[in-house]
Amino acid sequence: MGNIPAVTDAAFDADVLKSDKPVLVDFWAEWCGPCRQVAPILDEINTAHGDKLTFLKMNVDENPVTPSNYRVTGIPTLAVFQNGEIVKTIVGAKPKGALLKELEAFIG
């Protein structure tokens, strides 16, 4: 799905928590319609702003530990991590304009 790399439970600490720039993690699943709806929008935002914000996808069915640790109960959930902490959470599919507004602090 798209041009956003996947992150696993095993790589989460290194790829997300220890990243030197903010990381948006898209918690998603194959069977989730709204997840498929938001995927191309995230691809577009990643293409335009990937230099300021790292975009990663985590399949919650294949990687159950991390979503459980962060109490991800609904998908899609977009979580922005900065300095090892969640600083923003967006739950549900949103149109591009709404996502850009939510992410403004990170992408300028």
Q: Which residues are catalytic?
A: 32, 35
What does the alpha-carbon distance between residue 96 and residue 100 come to, in Å, rounded to a whole number?
A: 6
Task: Of 75, 56, 71, 60, give the one whose Cα is nearest residue 13.
Answer: 56
What does the alpha-carbon distance between residue 6 and residue 102 come to, in Å, rounded to a whole number?
A: 22
CA 108 to chain centroid, in Å, comes to 18
Instruction: Identify the helix (H) or strand (E) that includes residue 45.
Output: helix 33-49
What does the alpha-carbon distance between residue 27 and residue 22 come to, in Å, rounded to a whole number?
A: 16
